[in-house]
């Protein structure tokens, strides 16, 4: 009898919903943090033996000069490094990553929400205090995070694959790049398709469907190799022999030399395993450390706004508007709607759910962040005239620890959420939420260095909702979300009757009330862009 047969035999003898005998939500965050901390410590120790900085067993790493040096092994860096290595078998490539190997927990989509803000393998950031948004957040600041591991943020993301609107690409190629056709949608489409691999395994749903909300996660589990760049390009296919990957390597300086009276990057300096090393690139240094990391490293190296660098006594290599076009898909909560059935970890994380995921990759644990579907609409203030609002449905119930979990994920104050949800979350009431995402914000923030210390986070002034059209676009989407739940036969449930704390002075469900909610609960969905803007900081060739 196979192991799977043994498990099935045991399950037949158990009740249909045999719960894990403790309130899961009370210990889940602590348990996951402990596992992540242990994993990172173990991986760091293993890394010192397998790929020691002074004497590596990997022959591709036994040099200090490479053809290509790539900083950052996230969704971009992992792709670039792997494709260059496979396309140029005689080229030597060094990939430097500040984090390490993703843990096994990063392969479980339902844990995404809990893995976003683990200090051991993510970068944690807070913005400056916001005046137009985040009024119900800790310190009125935006909490955000980036993945610090192979795969970067793709190792913790919610696996919702969206190419973007084709008109955006066409507009960028025309307006920002002076009519460069290589960046229009038609020319980029083959590269999108090259990254996709869906084999149609779930073309017909299996007979056993434990909840209607599981239809969407079935597709999402099949898109794992698309959404997790580390899995798709390295773990499943094998590391190319000419690619050296150095984990736990923090790059803090790009070094320049003058060639034909112009600055040229020729080496990088990094810290790893207690040592400071400098490695040289004979062809290119490719910077893919993310929206925050790339801009921070450029400015530390002397590339950025001259007045800002001068104020920190950083020698200026090139005066460029690094960090000056920072934008994000600001997000707000719609709901809750007291609608059965939502996911409650205390009730739904059962032995059967765990076993189903281990056997077939389906069920509750295959659902990323309880997300169940999405759609796009156009607000009246959309410029240009196409969809600018994303609506995401989340089947998340109210449970006692939800205020703390939402605080950890997005930053809303625990005391405000406790007051707002009381007593429903204490009674484990089923619910649904909406996440309303602004697709094309008009507000622009900026990123600056706090000081010259590479260990310190940069200063992020995000300026959420500073432009009034951003609030009006979200207001339109908010009302559409409420209308969808209250006036359709399929959903047929009213908005949560308790007003959001801080918005009680406005008539409930009025436009001004909704505007207050939007400014109170506004947070990041981790889609920051623009700090190294195409056409402003880098040219059409990304140089």
DSSP 227-294: H-HHIIIIITT---TTEEEESS-EEEEEEEEEETTEEEEEEEEEEETTEEEEEEEEEEEEE-SHHHHH
- Domain extent, residue 179, equals 165-195
Residue 200: the pLDDT is 65
Q: Could you tell me the two tokens for 110?
A: 């339902």
| CA-wise closest residue to 434 among 475, 483, 393 | 393
- Res. 387: pLDDT tops 50: yes
Average pLDDT, the chain: 87
pLDDT band at 225 (very low <50, low <70, confident <90, very high): very low
Residue 196: the pLDDT is 79
CA distance linking residue 530 with residue 446, whole number of Å: 9
Q: Is residue 97 part of a domain?
A: no
Length of the chain: 543
CA distance linking residue 464 with residue 455, whole number of Å: 26
Spatial neighbors of 296 by CB under 8 A, at least 6 apart, are: 289, 447, 449, 454, 458
Q: Which of 118-127, 229-238, 453-462, 475-484 has the lowest mean pLDDT?
A: 229-238
CA distance linking residue 100 with residue 127, whole number of Å: 26
Q: For residues 320-359, b (16+ Cβ closer than 10 Å) or e, as one string? A: bebbbbbbbbbbbbbbbbbbeebbbbbbbbbbbbebbbee
Cα separation values, 142 from 75, 324, 413, Å: 23, 18, 11
Cα separation values, 437 from 351, 373, 443, 472, Å: 35, 13, 14, 13
Q: What is the pLDDT of residues 495-534, one digit of tens each?
A: 999 999 999 999 999 999 999 999 999 999 999 999 999 8
Q: Does 540 or 10 have the greater pLDDT score?
A: 540
What's the CA angle centered on 426, arms 421 and 431, to 5 degrees? 60
Q: Is residue 450 part of a domain?
A: no
Residue 487: the pLDDT is 95
Residue 210: the pLDDT is 34
pLDDT band at 108 (very low <50, low <70, confident <90, very high): confident
Q: Is residue 64 part of a domain?
A: no
Q: Are 472 and 381 in contact (CB under 8 A)?
A: yes
Q: Could you tell me the two tokens for 265?
A: 């990057």
Residue 9: the pLDDT is 57
Q: Could you tell me the two tokens for 22?
A: 């403790």
Q: Is residue 120 part of a domain?
A: no
CA distance linking residue 438 with residue 440, whole number of Å: 6
What's the CA angle centered on 523, arms 374 and 322, to 5 degrees? 105
Q: What is the pLDDT of residues 172-219, one digit of tens each?
A: 888 877 788 999 999 999 988 887 776 666 555 444 333 433 333 333
Residue 97: the pLDDT is 97
Q: Are 105 and 35 in contact (CB under 8 A)?
A: yes
Q: Provide the number of structural domains found in the chain.
A: 1
Q: Are 342 and 324 in contact (CB under 8 A)?
A: no
CA distance linking residue 280 with residue 255, whole number of Å: 9
Q: Where are the alpha helices (DSSP H) in 379-506?
A: 402-410, 414-421, 468-486
Residue 215: the pLDDT is 30
pLDDT band at 489 (very low <50, low <70, confident <90, very high): very high
| Residue that is written with structure tokens 């707000």 in the block | 332
Q: Is residue 400 part of a domain?
A: no
What's the whole-number mean pLDDT along residues 477-491? 94
Q: Is residue 188 part of a domain?
A: yes
Q: Are 522 and 133 in contact (CB under 8 A)?
A: yes
Q: Is residue 266 part of a domain?
A: no
Residue 302: the pLDDT is 97
Distance, C-alpha 490 to centroid of its chain: 31
* 258 bridge partner residues: 263
Cα separation values, 269 from 122, 124, 283, 340, 344, Å: 22, 23, 17, 55, 47
Cα separation values, 478 from 343, 481, 516, 518, Å: 23, 5, 12, 9
CA distance linking residue 234 with residue 158, whole number of Å: 20
What's the whole-number mean pLDDT along residues 454-468? 95
Q: Are 66 and 280 in contact (CB under 8 A)?
A: yes
Residue 206: the pLDDT is 47
CA distance linking residue 336 with residue 397, whole number of Å: 9
pLDDT band at 156 (very low <50, low <70, confident <90, very high): confident
Percent of the chain whose pLDDT exceeds 90: 65
What's the whole-number mean pLDDT along residues 156-170? 87
For residue 29, give the 3-state DSSP assignment. helix
CA distance linking residue 4 with residue 21, whole number of Å: 23
Q: What is the pLDDT of residues 263-295, one digit of tens each?
A: 999 999 999 999 999 999 999 999 999 999 999
pLDDT band at 19 (very low <50, low <70, confident <90, very high): low
Residue 83: the pLDDT is 92
Q: Is residue 177 part of a domain?
A: yes
Question: What does residue 170 show for φ and ψ, rounded to 5 degrees?
Answer: -65, -40
Residue 228: the pLDDT is 65
Any binding-site annotation on 251? yes
Residues 42/44/47/52 CA torsion (nearest 10 deg): -140
- Contacts from 378-386 at CB under 8 Å and sequence distance 24+? 379/472, 379/473, 379/476, 379/477, 380/472, 380/476, 381/469, 381/472, 381/473, 381/476, 382/440, 382/473, 383/440, 383/442, 383/469, 384/167, 384/171, 386/165, 386/167
């Amino acid at each position: 009898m196979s192991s799977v047969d043994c498990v099935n035999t045991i399950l037949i003898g158990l009740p249909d919903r045999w719960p894990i005998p403790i309130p899961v939500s009370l210990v889940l965050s602590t348990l996951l943090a402990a596992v992540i901390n242990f994993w990172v410590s173990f991986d760091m120790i293993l890394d010192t033996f397998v790929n020691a900085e002074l004497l590596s067993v990997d022959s591709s790493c036994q040099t200090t000069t490479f053809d290509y040096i790539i900083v950052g092994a996230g969704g971009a860096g992992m792709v670039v490094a792997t494709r260059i290595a496979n396309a140029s078998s005689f080229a030597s490539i060094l990939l430097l990553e500040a984090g390490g190997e993703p843990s096994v927990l990063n392969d479980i989509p339902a844990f995404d929400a809990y893995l976003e803000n683990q200090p051991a393998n993510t970068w944690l950031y807070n913005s400056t205090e916001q005046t137009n948004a985040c009024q119900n957040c800790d310190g009125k600041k935006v909490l955000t995070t980036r993945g610090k591991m192979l795969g970067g943020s793709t190792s913790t993301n919610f696996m919702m694959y969206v190419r973007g609107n084709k008109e955006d690409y066409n507009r960028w190629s025309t307006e920002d790049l002076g009519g460069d056709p290589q960046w229009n949608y038609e020319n980029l489409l083959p590269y999108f398709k090259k990254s996709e691999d869906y084999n149609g395994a779930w073309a017909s749903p299996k007979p056993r469907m434990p909840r209607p909300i599981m239809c969407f996660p079935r597709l999402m589990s099949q898109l794992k190799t698309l959404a997790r760049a580390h899995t798709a390009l390295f773990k499943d296919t094998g590391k190319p022999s000419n690619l050296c990957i150095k984990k736990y390597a923090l790059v803090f300086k790009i070094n320049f030399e003058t060639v034909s009276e112009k600055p040229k990057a020729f080496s990088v300096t990094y810290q790893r395993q207690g040592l400071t090393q400098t490695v040289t690139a004979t062809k290119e240094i490719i910077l893919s450390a993310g929206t925050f990391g790339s801009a921070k490293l450029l400015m530390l190296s002397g590339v950025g706004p001259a007045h800002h660098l001068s104020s920190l006594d950083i020698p200026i290599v090139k005066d460029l508007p690094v960090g000056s076009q920072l934008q994000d898909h600001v997000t707000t909560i719609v709901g809750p709607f007291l609608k059965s059935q939502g996911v409650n970890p205390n009730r739904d994380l059962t032995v059967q759910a765990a076993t189903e995921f281990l056997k077939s990759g389906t069920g509750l644990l295959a659902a990323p962040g309880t997300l169940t579907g999405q759609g796009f609409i156009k607000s009246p203030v959309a410029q240009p005239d196409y969809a600018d609002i994303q609506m995401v449905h989340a089947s998340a119930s109210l449970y006692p620890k939800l205020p703390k979990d939402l605080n950890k994920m997005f930053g809303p104050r625990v005391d405000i959420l406790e007051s707002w949800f009381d007593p429903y979350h204490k009674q484990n009431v089923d619910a649904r939420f909406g996440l309303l995402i602004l697709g094309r914000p008009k507000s622009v923030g900026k990123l600056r260095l706090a000081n010259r210390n590479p260990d310190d986070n940069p200063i992020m002034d995000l300026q959420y909702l500073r432009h009034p059209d951003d609030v009006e676009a979200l207001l339109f989407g908010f009302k559409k979300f409420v209308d969808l739940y209250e006036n359709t036969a399929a959903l047929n449930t009213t908005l949560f009757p308790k007003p959001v704390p801080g918005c009680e002075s406005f008539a409930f469900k009025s436009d001004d009330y909704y505007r207050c909610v939007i400014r109170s609960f506004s947070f990041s969905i981790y889609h920051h862009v623009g700090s190294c803007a195409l056409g402003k900081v880098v040219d059409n060739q990304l140089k």
